[in-house]
Amino acid sequence: MQKQSTKPSNSNCDEKDHGVQFKFEYKYCPMCATEMEWRHVFGARRQQCPNCGWVHFRNLKVGAGVLAERDGKVVLARRGINPGKDKWCFPSGFVEYNESPETGAVREFKEETGLDVEITGLLDVVYYSADFRGAGIMVLYGGKVVGGTPMPMDDVVEVGFFSRNEIPAGDEIAFESNRIALEKWRNGGK
């Protein structure tokens, strides 16, 4: 288990926790408009309103994706934007505030590939911190393609189908979570 520190640092936006730089802070409380203060609250250094007590919790981003198969091949998308521009990954993206991770995974798959997917199970939940947009968790599902026409859309420039022995090399895969899952899939697991 990784040891986490709650040691306070300066109170500006450059504060770092767990190796991740957070750039968002409130100047004023969104509930009562009082100027926010940095305090030790709920075991960590957080912004809190001295008037109404509202606490700003810096939450992880939640992403969801699907390792989906069609005819024994896995579907991968070549990214057209950073992070991971020009590299392959599972069709995936951020979960919207009003949807479940499963719904977000299915939506992102369709938005990026033009394909309809059915989720068959949960493969993994992975924490990541090496993303300029902030730390998060990726919920990765297994699935199968059930319809649609492959077409790169949204932030994808190419859709590909790969057998176990055709998987792109590790340095051609955009994210560590995807490399690990693809290696498991290549070796016969999911």
Q: Among this protein's residues, is 112 annotated catalytic?
A: no
Residues 118 and 99 sit within 8 Å (Cβ to Cβ): no
Q: Which of 158, 166, 172, 183 is catalytic?
A: 158
Residues with catalytic function: 158
